[in-house]
Structure 1
Amino acid sequence: MTKLLRAGLVGVGMMGRHHARILAELDGVELVAIADPAGNPHGVGGGVPVVDDVQGLIARGIDLAVVATPTRFHVEAALALAAADVHTLVEKPIADDVESGRVVADEFRRRGLVGAIGHVERFNPALQQLRARIANGDAGDVYQIATRRQSTFPARIGDVGVAKDLATHDVDLTSWVAQSEYAGVSAQTAHKSGREHEDMIAISGALEDGTVVNHLINWLSPMKERVTVVTGERGTFIADTAAGDLSFFANGTAVMEWESVSTFRGVSEGDVTRFAFAKREPLRAELEAFLSAVGGSEQTELSSMDEAVRTLSVVEAALASAEAGGTFISTSEEVRRAR
């Protein structure tokens, strides 16, 4: 009989409740306790005991844990779990800053533990399809990757701005989809809601392979949008990651009789394809990958802590650029340090 992995959950707020639901349902793992000083307000986990802190969780004899607390508590919780030799998945971002994130990544590596970060967009079915099709050459040479991520302000977020909370998703997914690191970025931010941290950021930059990137992210929109657009020599992919949909707008091959219009457009309009594929819940797929990694299986989709440090370094470069009035900042040196 296969031994069940004993899991603990740190934080059971808006994100933690979804981790609790899935951990309670997955085969091969038993959610034995939740650590949250506020208790279990959502009543998730099927009556699983609730303890006050991480040490109380460790005392339950856990093999793995998920940290779903506010960002300012990530480092303390992760290092305590590493000291107890507990494999850990930490929700993004890895830490408040790059240096703290590097301390966490180094400690998990030194102890030979699985350390993962919840860049869950890697498990979005539309982006997985997009990555595979780009790697297959379906877009030809990739010219540009642009993302838009906007919504209302989430009241639960108070310790970081929109850049570290949301832009980390876009930076990570862009590098992962393109399979290329960032070479440099410039950015502008705005503070429109009276809070300490930025609630809007616009990032422009380039990847090391020459791909132009743009990210528009805010907490100021009355509607929710999660879109990734990849433009290449053969056409444009549009991934709606909120719905898990992927479409391709092909460059046409038909000769246009109206010469002036053809010259103006540069490319002609071809077929539009909306792909059909299985759509699994991204968070469930991510947790399954984490469990497999703990079991010894190599997981190429799961975000490592080192990758998360590189992502955070790009976001910090963008914030530094905004502070300097939009100056272009090379990220290559910082990315190499984070490798």
Structure 2
Amino acid sequence: MLRVGVIGLGAIGREHLDIYRNLPGVQLTAVADARFPGSDEFGVPSFGSTDALLGSGLVDAVSLCTPDDIHYQDSLSILEAGVHLLLEKPVSTSAEEAENLVKAAESSGLTVMPGHTLRFEPKYLTAHRLVESGHIGDVVHGYVRRNNKTSVADRVKGRTSVTFFLGIHDIDAVTWVAGRRVTAVQAMETTQRTSDGGQAVAVTANLRLDNGGIIQLEAAWGLPDDFPTDIDARLRLVADRGELSIDIHEQGMRAFGDTLGYPVPVAASMYGKTQGALHEELDAFVRAVRGEIPLPITMREGADAVHVATAIDKAIRTGSVEEVTYR
């Protein structure tokens, strides 16, 4: 049995808990969160810090699901303890920290995987394979969009920008699907702010690809909470021999009762067992730890997405076209 722990017991951390409990050959053995030291809520030992959990010797691997801006030191501690790491996206909100994590991961001999869930969503994986096979040719232009509800921004409380919280998904997805790196960006944000006043409600950016193509990115968390689906996300790529597009509303299902809704059935539990993209992500991490499959996404790729997000937020501040610098 692979002994796993979860650090950070917010919304995403609790999803990791449920999934690990359903994975064969995996035993959830410990959790950690400063809010729940010694709690019996989770059915396993609960610690108040990462160091306390690591010191217990109860885990072989962990998911780190703490807020984006505090990933760095805990990630280093986990690797120093010889524990395999699934690190929720983004790997950091600092390009320098991201690069240090790449070095630490590559020298550790451990399985270290960024949690970019769209890589495990069948539509995005199919799009990646279509472009990789040459089916639509070389990408010329397109767009990606990810809009979320105001309650999500309220939950984040100004800790990080919408570029890093939402845009990072699509930065990684579009570069992976297109098979191209971003070389330069220009960007703007709204003057309207989130309820705490700390962040812009929406960001748009133009991304120059290394083949000369251009992609428009939109990231926002201003949808009303009664919007009929939790996320409004789309991707479109136009290439020199074809086109592909993804629209998450196209699930073939809608429901109307007191309100109109577009349920996402692929994310629902099925007969008491977890399924969906996050389930596939965690399962792939476990299989990579066991040496059954190559690592699906590397820390280098996770850090590259951070470099693009950093350039976008810098371009907002400077009003200039910013080159994306990779290591």
The TM-score range, normalised by the shorter chain, is 0.7 to 0.9
**Matching of residue 307 in structure 1 with residue 307 in structure 2:** no
**Native 8 Å contact 1:33 1:60 kept in 2:** no
**Matching of residue 23 in structure 1 with residue 20 in structure 2:** yes
Output the CA distance in 2 between the equivalents of 1:145 and 1:104. 31
Equivalent residue for 1:86, pick from 70, 83, 88: 83
- Match of 1:31, as an amino acid? L
Residues 191, 80 of structure 1: CA spacing in aligned structure 2 closer, same or farther, 3 A cutoff?
farther
**Native 8 Å contact 1:24 1:31 kept in 2:** yes
**Matching of residue 13 in structure 1 with residue 10 in structure 2:** yes
1:288 deviation in Å?
Answer: 1.1
| Equivalent residue number for residue 263 of structure 1 | none
C-alpha deviations, 1:45-69, integer Å up to 9, x for none? 5x22211111222113311000001
Output the CA distance in 2 between the equivalents of 1:55 and 1:243. 44
| Equivalent residue number for residue 250 of structure 1 | none
C-alpha deviations, 1:238-281, integer Å up to 9, x for none? 21246668xxxxxxxxxxxxxxxxxxxxxxxxxxxxxxxx9961
Equivalent residue for 2:215, pick from 213, 216, 225: 213
**Matching of residue 160 in structure 1 with residue 165 in structure 2:** no
**Matching of residue 283 in structure 1 with residue 311 in structure 2:** no
**Matching of residue 193 in structure 1 with residue 187 in structure 2:** no
SS at 1:156 equivalent: helix
Equivalent residue for 1:48, pick from 44, 51, 56: 44
**Native 8 Å contact 2:193 2:199 kept in 1:** no
The structure with the largest alpha-carbon Rg is 1
1:145 deviation in Å?
Answer: 2.7
Residues 172, 124 of structure 1: CA spacing in aligned structure 2 closer, same or farther, 3 A cutoff?
same
1:15 deviation in Å?
Answer: 0.5
Output the CA distance in 1 between the equivalents of 2:250 and 2:23. 24
Alignment of 1:49-68 (within 5 A): 49-58=45-54, 59-68=56-65
**Native 8 Å contact 2:72 2:97 kept in 1:** yes
Equivalent residue for 1:118, pick from 115, 118, 134: 115
| Equivalent residue number for residue 150 of structure 1 | 147
**Native 8 Å contact 2:62 2:85 kept in 1:** yes
**TM-score, normalised relative to structure 1:** 0.81
1:21 deviation in Å?
Answer: 0.3
Q: How large is the Cα RMSD of the aligned pairs?
A: 2.2
Gaps of at least 5 residues in structure 2 are: 253-265, 268-274
Output the CA distance in 1 between the equivalents of 2:323 and 2:134. 28
1:96 deviation in Å?
Answer: 2.3
Output the CA distance in 1 between the equivalents of 2:147 and 2:118. 15
Output the CA distance in 1 between the equivalents of 2:198 and 2:286. 37
1:230 deviation in Å?
Answer: 1.4
Output the CA distance in 1 between the equivalents of 2:40 and 2:248. 29
Output the CA distance in 2 between the equivalents of 1:132 and 1:152. 31
Fraction of identical pairs, as percent: 26
Output the CA distance in 2 between the equivalents of 1:62 and 1:128. 31
**Native 8 Å contact 2:237 2:245 kept in 1:** yes
SS at 1:231 equivalent: strand
**Native 8 Å contact 1:191 1:197 kept in 2:** no
Output the CA distance in 2 between the equivalents of 1:317 and 1:311. 10
**Native 8 Å contact 2:131 2:179 kept in 1:** no
| Equivalent residue number for residue 170 of structure 1 | 170
- How many residue pairs match? The answer is 295
Residues 309, 141 of structure 1: CA spacing in aligned structure 2 closer, same or farther, 3 A cutoff?
closer
| Equivalent residue number for residue 324 of structure 1 | 318
Output the CA distance in 2 between the equivalents of 1:305 and 1:142. 25
1:189 deviation in Å?
Answer: 1.3
Residues 242, 20 of structure 1: CA spacing in aligned structure 2 closer, same or farther, 3 A cutoff?
farther
1:191 deviation in Å?
Answer: 4.0
